[in-house]
Amino acid sequence: MAKKLTIMLLAVLLVLGFSFVQVQAAEHMPEKPDELSIIALDIDVEQFGEGVEIFEETYGIDVVWMEYPYGELYNQTSTSIAGGSTFDLYMMSNSWHPEFGQLGMAVPLTDIVSQEELDEINEKFFEATVDNMTSHDKQWALPGTAATVTFFYNKAMLEELGYDEPPATFPEWLEAGREAVDEGLATYAFFPGWLSAHEDGMVQFDIMLKMQGGAWMNEDRTEWTFNSEAGVEALTLMKEILDEGLVPRAALEQSDWDNFHYFLAGDQLFEINWNFVYPQAADPDRSEIADELGYMVIPGIEEEDPGYTVLGGGGYAISPTTRSPEWAFRLLDYMHRDEGALGVMEEQGGAEATIEKFYTEEYDYMFPLEDYPLREVYGDQMENAGFRPGVYLTWYSEFRDNIFTPAMHRALLGEQDIEEALDEAYEAAQEMLEAEGL
Q: How far apart are CA 346 and CA 132, in angstroms?
A: 22
Asked if residue 412 lies in contact with residue 238, where contact means CB atoms within 8 angstroms, the answer is yes
CB neighbourhood size of 253 (10 A) = 13
Q: How far apart are CA 359 and CA 378, in angstroms?
A: 8
pLDDT score of 26: 52
pLDDT score of 307: 85
CA–centroid distance for 245 within its chain: 28
Q: Which amino acid is at 314?
A: G
Strand pairing of 149-154 and 270-274? antiparallel
Domains within the chain, CATH numbers bracketed: 2-147+312-375 (3.40.190.10), 149-310+389-436 (3.40.190.10)
Nearest to 335 by CA among 175, 179, 143: 143
pLDDT score of 95: 87
159-166 contacts at long range (C-beta below 8 A, 24 or more positions apart): 160/185, 161/185, 166/294, 166/296
Distances (CA, A) of 79 to 82, 97, 140, 164, 321: 5, 16, 19, 53, 12
Q: Which amino acid is at 59?
A: Y
Cross-strand pairs, 65: 38
Distances (CA, A) of 320 to 69, 108, 334: 22, 10, 20
Residue 276 backbone dihedrals phi, psi, to 5 degrees = -60, -20
- Please enumerate in sequence order all residues whose Cβ is within 8 A of that of 242, keeping only pairs 6 or more positions apart, or say none: 194, 249, 251, 252, 412
Q: What is the dihedral of CA 413, 415, 418, 420, to 10 degrees?
A: -160
Three-state SS at 428: helix
Q: How far apart are CA 287 and CA 291, in angstroms?
A: 9
Three-state SS at 320: coil
- Averaged pLDDT in 10-residue chunks for the chain of 438 residues: 41 37 55 97 94 97 96 95 97 93 96 97 97 95 96 98 96 98 97 93 97 97 98 98 97 91 96 94 96 96 91 96 98 97 93 96 94 93 93 95 97 98 98 97
pLDDT score of 328: 98
pLDDT score of 2: 39
